[in-house]
A and B are shown apart, each in its own frame.
Chain A
Protein backbone atom coordinates (compact mmCIF):
# COMPACT_ATOMS: atom_id res chain seq x y z
CA UNK A 1 0.00 0.00 0.00
CA UNK A 2 1.61 3.18 -1.19
CA UNK A 3 0.14 6.51 -0.12
CA UNK A 4 -0.44 9.42 -2.46
CA UNK A 5 2.53 11.72 -2.96
CA UNK A 6 3.20 14.51 -0.51
CA UNK A 7 5.92 16.98 0.46
CA UNK A 8 7.81 16.27 3.68
CA UNK A 9 8.91 18.89 6.18
CA UNK A 10 10.97 18.48 9.33
CA UNK A 11 11.04 21.84 11.17
CA UNK A 12 13.19 22.37 14.26
CA UNK A 13 10.90 24.54 16.37
CA UNK A 14 7.25 25.26 17.08
CA UNK A 15 7.48 28.53 15.12
CA UNK A 16 8.55 26.59 12.06
CA UNK A 17 5.60 24.21 12.46
CA UNK A 18 3.10 27.06 12.79
CA UNK A 19 4.55 28.82 9.73
CA UNK A 20 4.09 25.64 7.65
CA UNK A 21 0.55 25.14 8.94
CA UNK A 22 -0.32 28.75 8.10
CA UNK A 23 1.24 28.48 4.66
CA UNK A 24 -0.45 25.23 3.66
CA UNK A 25 -3.73 25.40 5.59
CA UNK A 26 -5.77 22.22 5.56
CA UNK A 27 -3.38 20.62 3.04
CA UNK A 28 -0.88 20.19 5.87
CA UNK A 29 -0.92 17.71 8.72
CA UNK A 30 1.54 17.26 11.54
CA UNK A 31 2.82 13.77 12.24
CA UNK A 32 4.01 12.67 15.68
CA UNK A 33 4.23 8.86 15.97
CA UNK A 34 2.23 8.47 12.79
CA UNK A 35 0.51 5.25 13.79
CA UNK A 36 -2.96 6.68 13.25
CA UNK A 37 -2.14 9.02 10.36
CA UNK A 38 0.15 6.84 8.23
CA UNK A 39 -2.32 3.90 8.05
CA UNK A 40 -4.99 6.40 6.96
CA UNK A 41 -2.62 7.79 4.30
CA UNK A 42 -1.83 4.27 3.08
CA UNK A 43 -5.53 3.51 2.77
CA UNK A 44 -5.89 6.89 1.01
CA UNK A 45 -8.62 7.78 3.45
CA UNK A 46 -6.95 11.08 4.23
CA UNK A 47 -5.41 13.56 1.83
CA UNK A 48 -2.16 15.06 3.06
CA UNK A 49 -0.23 17.32 0.68
CA UNK A 50 2.30 18.48 3.24
CA UNK A 51 3.45 16.25 6.07
CA UNK A 52 5.07 18.16 8.93
CA UNK A 53 7.18 15.80 11.03
CA UNK A 54 7.47 16.88 14.67
CA UNK A 55 10.36 14.59 15.67
CA UNK A 56 13.02 17.33 15.66
CA UNK A 57 10.85 20.08 17.16
CA UNK A 58 12.37 21.33 20.39
CA UNK A 59 10.31 21.57 23.55
CA UNK A 60 7.66 18.94 22.85
CA UNK A 61 9.09 16.18 25.04
CA UNK A 62 9.48 15.50 28.70
CA UNK A 63 7.41 14.42 31.67
CA UNK A 64 7.47 16.76 34.67
CA UNK A 65 6.02 15.81 38.01
CA UNK A 66 6.36 18.97 40.11
CA UNK A 67 4.51 18.65 43.37
CA UNK A 68 0.82 18.40 42.55
CA UNK A 69 1.22 19.47 38.92
CA UNK A 70 1.98 17.04 36.10
CA UNK A 71 3.05 18.24 32.66
CA UNK A 72 3.54 15.91 29.69
CA UNK A 73 4.98 17.00 26.36
CA UNK A 74 2.96 16.12 23.28
CA UNK A 75 5.74 13.95 21.79
CA UNK A 76 6.02 11.67 24.83
CA UNK A 77 5.33 8.12 23.64
CA UNK A 78 3.16 5.51 25.32
CA UNK A 79 6.36 3.55 25.94
CA UNK A 80 7.84 6.52 27.83
CA UNK A 81 4.64 6.94 29.88
CA UNK A 82 4.77 3.28 30.89
CA UNK A 83 8.42 3.45 31.94
CA UNK A 84 8.40 6.74 33.85
CA UNK A 85 8.55 5.87 37.55
CA UNK A 86 7.70 9.40 38.79
CA UNK A 87 4.60 9.54 36.64
CA UNK A 88 3.51 6.07 37.67
CA UNK A 89 3.89 7.09 41.30
CA UNK A 90 1.93 10.32 40.84
CA UNK A 91 -0.75 9.17 38.35
CA UNK A 92 -0.70 5.39 37.91
CA UNK A 93 -3.81 5.42 35.72
CA UNK A 94 -1.64 6.56 32.78
CA UNK A 95 0.48 3.43 32.85
CA UNK A 96 -2.55 1.21 33.32
CA UNK A 97 -4.21 2.74 30.26
CA UNK A 98 -1.08 3.00 28.09
CA UNK A 99 -0.39 -0.72 28.57
CA UNK A 100 -3.79 -1.40 27.01
CA UNK A 101 -3.07 0.62 23.87
CA UNK A 102 -2.23 -1.34 20.72
CA UNK A 103 0.95 -3.45 21.00
CA UNK A 104 4.60 -2.92 22.00
CA UNK A 105 5.80 -1.74 18.59
CA UNK A 106 2.99 0.80 18.32
CA UNK A 107 3.61 2.03 21.88
CA UNK A 108 7.24 2.88 21.02
CA UNK A 109 5.95 5.26 18.34
CA UNK A 110 2.49 6.41 19.43
CA UNK A 111 2.47 9.68 21.36
CA UNK A 112 0.13 11.09 23.96
CA UNK A 113 -0.20 14.31 21.96
CA UNK A 114 -1.23 12.50 18.81
CA UNK A 115 -3.57 10.27 20.77
CA UNK A 116 -5.46 13.18 22.33
CA UNK A 117 -5.30 15.61 19.39
CA UNK A 118 -6.44 13.24 16.65
CA UNK A 119 -10.02 13.27 17.89
CA UNK A 120 -10.55 9.58 17.20
CA UNK A 121 -13.28 8.43 19.61
CA UNK A 122 -11.49 5.07 19.79
CA UNK A 123 -8.33 6.56 21.27
CA UNK A 124 -7.88 5.84 24.98
CA UNK A 125 -6.06 8.91 26.30
CA UNK A 126 -8.84 11.45 25.68
CA UNK A 127 -11.21 9.76 28.15
CA UNK A 128 -8.35 9.61 30.64
CA UNK A 129 -7.71 13.32 30.25
CA UNK A 130 -11.42 14.04 30.73
CA UNK A 131 -11.39 11.91 33.87
CA UNK A 132 -8.34 13.77 35.23
CA UNK A 133 -9.66 17.20 34.25
CA UNK A 134 -6.56 17.88 32.15
CA UNK A 135 -5.76 21.03 30.20
CA UNK A 136 -4.27 21.06 26.71
CA UNK A 137 -1.90 23.80 25.56
CA UNK A 138 -2.37 24.92 21.96
CA UNK A 139 0.09 27.18 20.17
CA UNK A 140 -0.84 29.02 17.01
CA UNK A 141 -0.05 32.17 15.04
CA UNK A 142 -1.70 34.31 17.72
CA UNK A 143 0.12 32.77 20.65
CA UNK A 144 -0.72 30.13 23.17
CA UNK A 145 -4.06 29.22 24.72
CA UNK A 146 -5.19 26.59 27.16
CA UNK A 147 -8.29 24.46 26.60
CA UNK A 148 -9.88 22.09 29.08
CA UNK A 149 -9.87 18.53 27.73
CA UNK A 150 -13.58 18.42 28.64
CA UNK A 151 -14.20 21.27 26.14
CA UNK A 152 -11.86 20.04 23.41
CA UNK A 153 -13.86 17.37 21.57
CA UNK A 154 -16.74 18.38 19.26
CA UNK A 155 -17.35 15.31 17.08
CA UNK A 156 -15.37 12.38 15.66
CA UNK A 157 -12.06 13.85 14.44
CA UNK A 158 -13.37 17.37 15.08
CA UNK A 159 -11.85 19.35 17.93
CA UNK A 160 -11.60 23.01 18.90
CA UNK A 161 -8.00 23.06 17.65
CA UNK A 162 -7.61 25.36 14.64
CA UNK A 163 -5.80 24.07 11.52
CA UNK A 164 -2.89 26.41 12.27
CA UNK A 165 -2.56 25.36 15.91
CA UNK A 166 -0.32 22.70 17.44
CA UNK A 167 -1.12 20.85 20.66
CA UNK A 168 2.15 21.12 22.58
CA UNK A 169 1.51 19.78 26.08
CA UNK A 170 -0.95 18.38 28.59
CA UNK A 171 -1.21 19.36 32.23
CA UNK A 172 -3.25 18.02 35.12
CA UNK A 173 -3.22 17.90 38.88
CA UNK A 174 -1.89 14.68 40.39
CA UNK A 175 -5.01 12.63 41.09
CA UNK A 176 -5.81 11.43 44.60
CA UNK A 177 -7.15 8.05 45.66
CA UNK A 178 -7.87 4.94 43.63
CA UNK A 179 -7.88 4.59 39.87
CA UNK A 180 -8.78 2.19 37.10
CA UNK A 181 -8.84 2.04 33.32
CA UNK A 182 -10.94 -0.91 32.22
CA UNK A 183 -11.03 -1.73 28.53
CA UNK A 184 -12.79 -4.44 26.58
CA UNK A 185 -11.36 -5.13 23.13
CA UNK A 186 -11.70 -7.97 20.65
CA UNK A 187 -7.98 -8.59 20.31
CA UNK A 188 -4.57 -7.05 20.99
CA UNK A 189 -4.24 -3.93 18.89
CA UNK A 190 -7.95 -3.29 18.61
CA UNK A 191 -9.72 -0.17 19.77
CA UNK A 192 -12.09 -0.46 22.70
CA UNK A 193 -15.53 -1.94 22.29
CA UNK A 194 -16.02 0.04 25.49
CA UNK A 195 -13.64 1.41 28.10
CA UNK A 196 -13.95 3.45 31.27
CA UNK A 197 -11.55 5.60 33.31
CA UNK A 198 -12.32 6.15 36.98
CA UNK A 199 -10.64 8.08 39.82
CA UNK A 200 -12.10 7.86 43.31
CA UNK A 201 -11.02 9.56 46.55
CA UNK A 202 -12.09 8.04 49.86
CA UNK A 203 -12.24 9.52 53.38
CA UNK A 204 -13.47 7.64 56.41
CA UNK A 205 -15.02 4.83 54.40
CA UNK A 206 -16.97 7.12 52.08
CA UNK A 207 -16.31 8.39 48.58
CA UNK A 208 -15.53 12.13 48.68
CA UNK A 209 -14.77 12.68 44.99
CA UNK A 210 -15.25 10.61 41.86
CA UNK A 211 -14.67 11.12 38.16
CA UNK A 212 -15.94 8.72 35.48
CA UNK A 213 -15.29 8.91 31.74
CA UNK A 214 -15.63 6.58 28.77
CA UNK A 215 -13.97 5.67 25.46
CA UNK A 216 -15.59 4.78 22.12
CA UNK A 217 -19.16 4.96 23.36
CA UNK A 218 -20.09 8.17 21.51
CA UNK A 219 -18.54 10.17 18.68
CA UNK A 220 -16.48 11.95 21.36
CA UNK A 221 -14.98 10.80 24.66
CA UNK A 222 -17.59 11.20 27.41
CA UNK A 223 -17.13 12.51 30.94
CA UNK A 224 -20.18 11.63 33.03
CA UNK A 225 -20.62 14.25 35.73
CA UNK A 226 -23.74 12.45 36.95
CA UNK A 227 -21.91 9.14 37.38
CA UNK A 228 -19.29 10.79 39.58
CA UNK A 229 -21.96 12.58 41.58
CA UNK A 230 -23.81 9.29 42.13
CA UNK A 231 -20.77 7.89 43.93
CA UNK A 232 -19.94 10.84 46.18
CA UNK A 233 -21.10 10.29 49.76
CA UNK A 234 -21.62 6.55 49.27
CA UNK A 235 -19.61 3.49 50.29
CA UNK A 236 -19.33 2.52 46.59
CA UNK A 237 -21.22 -0.66 47.37
CA UNK A 238 -23.28 -2.56 44.79
CA UNK A 239 -26.26 -0.15 44.96
CA UNK A 240 -24.07 2.93 44.52
CA UNK A 241 -22.17 1.34 41.64
CA UNK A 242 -25.47 0.40 39.97
CA UNK A 243 -26.69 4.00 40.29
CA UNK A 244 -23.43 5.39 38.89
CA UNK A 245 -23.44 2.94 35.97
CA UNK A 246 -27.05 3.84 35.18
CA UNK A 247 -26.12 7.53 35.21
CA UNK A 248 -23.10 6.92 32.95
CA UNK A 249 -25.19 4.92 30.47
CA UNK A 250 -27.53 7.92 30.10
CA UNK A 251 -24.59 10.02 28.87
CA UNK A 252 -23.41 7.76 26.02
CA UNK A 253 -24.65 7.26 22.50
CA UNK A 254 -22.89 4.24 20.95
CA UNK A 255 -23.44 3.31 17.33
CA UNK A 256 -23.45 -0.07 15.63
CA UNK A 257 -20.22 -1.09 13.91
CA UNK A 258 -18.09 -4.21 13.43
CA UNK A 259 -17.64 -4.40 17.21
CA UNK A 260 -21.33 -5.08 17.66
CA UNK A 261 -24.83 -3.63 17.78
CA UNK A 262 -25.87 -0.83 20.13
CA UNK A 263 -27.37 -3.21 22.71
CA UNK A 264 -24.07 -5.09 22.95
CA UNK A 265 -22.07 -1.86 23.29
CA UNK A 266 -24.32 -0.76 26.13
CA UNK A 267 -23.98 -4.17 27.77
CA UNK A 268 -20.17 -4.03 27.57
CA UNK A 269 -20.20 -0.41 28.76
CA UNK A 270 -22.22 -1.40 31.80
CA UNK A 271 -19.73 -4.14 32.61
CA UNK A 272 -16.54 -2.12 32.16
CA UNK A 273 -17.84 0.94 34.04
CA UNK A 274 -18.91 -1.23 36.98
CA UNK A 275 -15.57 -3.02 37.04
CA UNK A 276 -13.62 0.24 36.78
CA UNK A 277 -15.51 1.79 39.70
CA UNK A 278 -15.07 -1.32 41.85
CA UNK A 279 -11.35 -1.54 41.10
CA UNK A 280 -10.75 2.19 41.64
CA UNK A 281 -12.61 1.97 44.98
CA UNK A 282 -10.61 -1.07 46.05
CA UNK A 283 -7.41 0.91 45.44
CA UNK A 284 -8.62 4.11 47.12
Chain B
Protein backbone atom coordinates (compact mmCIF):
# COMPACT_ATOMS: atom_id res chain seq x y z
CA UNK B 1 0.00 0.00 0.00
CA UNK B 2 1.01 3.60 -0.43
CA UNK B 3 4.08 4.63 1.52
CA UNK B 4 4.17 8.13 2.84
CA UNK B 5 6.69 10.45 4.41
CA UNK B 6 6.24 10.61 8.15
CA UNK B 7 7.72 13.55 10.03
CA UNK B 8 8.62 12.93 13.64
CA UNK B 9 10.45 15.04 16.19
CA UNK B 10 12.20 12.51 18.41
CA UNK B 11 14.24 13.64 21.40
CA UNK B 12 14.35 17.12 19.87
CA UNK B 13 15.64 15.99 16.46
CA UNK B 14 13.57 16.15 13.29
CA UNK B 15 13.29 12.98 11.25
CA UNK B 16 11.54 12.01 8.04
CA UNK B 17 10.92 8.38 7.26
CA UNK B 18 9.20 6.72 4.33
CA UNK B 19 6.91 4.06 5.75
CA UNK B 20 3.84 2.01 5.00
CA UNK B 21 0.74 2.88 7.03
CA UNK B 22 0.84 -0.52 8.75
CA UNK B 23 4.26 0.08 10.31
CA UNK B 24 3.97 0.42 14.06
CA UNK B 25 5.66 3.32 15.81
CA UNK B 26 7.88 0.96 17.83
CA UNK B 27 9.21 -0.61 14.62
CA UNK B 28 9.95 2.78 13.06
CA UNK B 29 11.72 3.98 16.21
CA UNK B 30 13.82 0.85 16.57
CA UNK B 31 14.48 -0.16 12.97
CA UNK B 32 14.50 3.12 11.05
CA UNK B 33 15.80 5.53 13.68
CA UNK B 34 17.95 2.99 15.55
CA UNK B 35 16.42 4.02 18.87
CA UNK B 36 16.47 0.63 20.52
CA UNK B 37 15.81 1.91 24.04
CA UNK B 38 12.06 1.30 23.83
CA UNK B 39 11.72 -2.48 23.85
CA UNK B 40 9.30 -4.89 22.25
CA UNK B 41 8.03 -7.06 25.08
CA UNK B 42 4.58 -8.51 24.61
CA UNK B 43 3.59 -6.52 21.52
CA UNK B 44 -0.02 -6.81 22.71
CA UNK B 45 -0.47 -3.55 24.70
CA UNK B 46 0.04 -5.27 28.03
CA UNK B 47 3.64 -4.95 29.19
CA UNK B 48 4.59 -1.30 28.63
CA UNK B 49 8.22 -2.05 27.63
CA UNK B 50 7.65 0.00 24.44
CA UNK B 51 6.35 3.05 26.33
CA UNK B 52 7.36 6.39 24.82
CA UNK B 53 6.19 9.95 25.34
CA UNK B 54 3.96 11.09 22.45
CA UNK B 55 2.74 14.70 22.53
CA UNK B 56 2.77 14.76 26.33
CA UNK B 57 1.18 11.35 26.83
CA UNK B 58 2.70 8.03 27.86
CA UNK B 59 1.79 5.59 25.09
CA UNK B 60 2.58 2.03 24.16
CA UNK B 61 4.29 2.46 20.82
CA UNK B 62 3.36 -1.08 19.75
CA UNK B 63 -0.25 0.09 19.57
CA UNK B 64 0.18 3.23 17.47
CA UNK B 65 0.91 3.31 13.76
CA UNK B 66 3.85 5.55 12.96
CA UNK B 67 1.68 7.37 10.43
CA UNK B 68 -0.70 8.35 13.24
CA UNK B 69 2.25 10.05 14.91
CA UNK B 70 3.02 12.12 11.79
CA UNK B 71 3.85 15.61 13.07
CA UNK B 72 4.21 14.47 16.68
CA UNK B 73 6.83 15.18 19.32
CA UNK B 74 8.24 12.00 20.82
CA UNK B 75 10.59 11.36 23.69
CA UNK B 76 12.19 7.96 24.21
CA UNK B 77 14.46 6.80 27.01
CA UNK B 78 17.39 8.05 24.91
CA UNK B 79 16.05 11.58 25.39
CA UNK B 80 15.55 11.45 29.14
CA UNK B 81 19.17 11.87 30.23
CA UNK B 82 20.53 15.42 29.97
CA UNK B 83 23.95 16.71 28.96
CA UNK B 84 24.96 16.50 32.61
CA UNK B 85 24.43 12.73 32.68
CA UNK B 86 21.75 10.46 33.98
CA UNK B 87 18.33 11.87 34.85
CA UNK B 88 17.41 11.76 38.54
CA UNK B 89 15.01 8.89 37.80
CA UNK B 90 17.75 6.88 36.08
CA UNK B 91 20.15 7.54 38.92
CA UNK B 92 17.47 6.59 41.42
CA UNK B 93 16.68 3.28 39.69
CA UNK B 94 20.39 2.53 39.82
CA UNK B 95 20.76 3.42 43.48
CA UNK B 96 17.62 1.72 44.71
CA UNK B 97 18.02 -1.46 42.70
CA UNK B 98 14.96 -0.60 40.58
CA UNK B 99 16.08 -3.00 37.87
CA UNK B 100 17.45 -6.48 37.62
CA UNK B 101 17.44 -7.73 34.02
CA UNK B 102 16.62 -4.22 32.81
CA UNK B 103 14.28 -5.16 30.00
CA UNK B 104 11.30 -3.20 31.36
CA UNK B 105 13.41 -0.28 32.59
CA UNK B 106 13.24 2.07 29.56
CA UNK B 107 9.45 1.84 29.59
CA UNK B 108 9.33 2.15 33.38
CA UNK B 109 11.46 5.28 33.46
CA UNK B 110 9.76 6.92 30.47
CA UNK B 111 6.37 6.33 32.10
CA UNK B 112 7.58 7.47 35.54
CA UNK B 113 8.94 10.65 33.92
CA UNK B 114 5.44 11.61 32.74
CA UNK B 115 3.88 10.49 36.03
CA UNK B 116 6.13 12.83 38.03
CA UNK B 117 5.39 15.72 35.65
CA UNK B 118 1.67 15.27 36.29
CA UNK B 119 1.98 14.43 39.96
CA UNK B 120 5.29 15.71 41.38
CA UNK B 121 4.58 14.51 44.91
CA UNK B 122 2.92 11.11 44.60
CA UNK B 123 2.03 8.72 47.39
CA UNK B 124 3.13 5.10 47.13
CA UNK B 125 -0.41 4.26 46.02
CA UNK B 126 -0.29 6.95 43.31
CA UNK B 127 2.94 5.45 42.00
CA UNK B 128 1.59 1.91 41.97
CA UNK B 129 -1.61 3.03 40.22
CA UNK B 130 0.25 5.29 37.78
CA UNK B 131 2.74 2.56 36.87
CA UNK B 132 0.09 -0.13 36.40
CA UNK B 133 0.63 -0.24 32.64
CA UNK B 134 4.22 -1.46 32.99
CA UNK B 135 5.10 -5.03 33.87
CA UNK B 136 8.31 -6.22 35.51
CA UNK B 137 9.07 -9.92 35.98
CA UNK B 138 12.16 -9.50 38.17
CA UNK B 139 11.85 -6.95 40.92
CA UNK B 140 8.45 -7.58 42.41
CA UNK B 141 7.95 -3.82 41.87
CA UNK B 142 8.96 -2.87 45.41
CA UNK B 143 12.27 -1.32 44.38
CA UNK B 144 10.75 0.31 41.30
CA UNK B 145 8.24 2.09 43.53
CA UNK B 146 11.02 3.01 45.94
CA UNK B 147 13.15 4.38 43.08
CA UNK B 148 10.33 6.58 41.78
CA UNK B 149 9.41 7.91 45.23
CA UNK B 150 13.08 8.68 45.95
CA UNK B 151 13.43 10.46 42.60
CA UNK B 152 10.31 12.53 43.33
CA UNK B 153 11.69 13.52 46.73
CA UNK B 154 15.02 14.49 45.21
CA UNK B 155 13.46 16.52 42.40
CA UNK B 156 11.24 18.33 44.91
CA UNK B 157 14.15 18.98 47.28
CA UNK B 158 16.30 20.50 44.53
CA UNK B 159 13.33 22.59 43.33
CA UNK B 160 12.80 23.93 46.85
CA UNK B 161 16.52 24.62 47.22
CA UNK B 162 16.44 26.58 43.96
CA UNK B 163 13.50 28.68 45.19
Contact = CB atoms under 8 A, between A and B. Distances in A.
Contacts of A41: 22
Contacts of A102: 133
B119 to A, nearest CB: 11
A6 B68 CA distance: 13
B65 A8 contact: yes
Nearest to A103: B133
Interface stretch (B54-62, B82-90, B150-158): B54-62
Interface string B40-77: 00011110100100000111100111011010000000
B132 interface: yes
Interface stretch (A32-40, A138-146, A217-225, A265-273): A32-40
Contact of A35 (B45, B130, B132): B45
Contacts of B63: 34-35, 38-39, 109
A105 B1 contact: no
A108 B59 contact: yes
Interface string A235-262: 0000000000000000000000000000
A108 B67 CA distance: 18
Given A103-B133, A189-B46, A109 B59 contact: yes
A56 B45 CA distance: 24
Contacts of B111: 104-105
Contact of B64 (A2, A3, A34): A34
Nearest to A109: B59
B122 interface: no
Contact of B1 (A7, A10, A79): A7
A189 B133 contact: yes
Contacts of B60: 105-106
A5 B21 CA distance: 7
A38 to B, nearest CB: 5
Q: Classify chain A's interface size.
A: 20 to 34
Contact of B130 (A8, A39, A104, A109): A104
A41 B129 CA distance: 29
Contact of A4 (B22, B23, B58): B22
A149 B39 CA distance: 40
Contacts of B24: 2, 42
A8 B67 contact: yes
A79 B48 CA distance: 17
Contacts of B48: 103, 105
A90 B112 CA distance: 31
B22 A3 contact: yes
Nearest to B52: A105
Contacts of A35: 45, 63
A42 B43 contact: yes
A79 B21 contact: no
A5 B65 contact: no
B57 A79 contact: yes
B22 A6 contact: yes
8 pairs of A and B residues whose beta carbons are closest in the complex = A103-B133, A8-B21, A108-B57, A5-B1, A105-B133, A188-B132, A103-B132, A3-B22
Interface of B: 1-2, 4, 20-24, 27, 43-46, 48, 51, 57-60, 63-65, 67-68, 70, 111, 115, 129-133
Given A8-B21, A39-B63, A108-B58, 9 more contacts: A1-B44, A5-B21, A31-B68, A38-B64, A39-B45, A103-B132, A104-B58, A104-B111, A108-B59
18 contacts: A5-B1, A8-B67, A34-B68, A35-B63, A51-B65, A53-B67, A55-B68, A79-B57, A103-B133, A104-B58, A104-B115, A104-B129, A104-B130, A105-B57, A106-B45, A108-B57, A108-B58, A188-B132
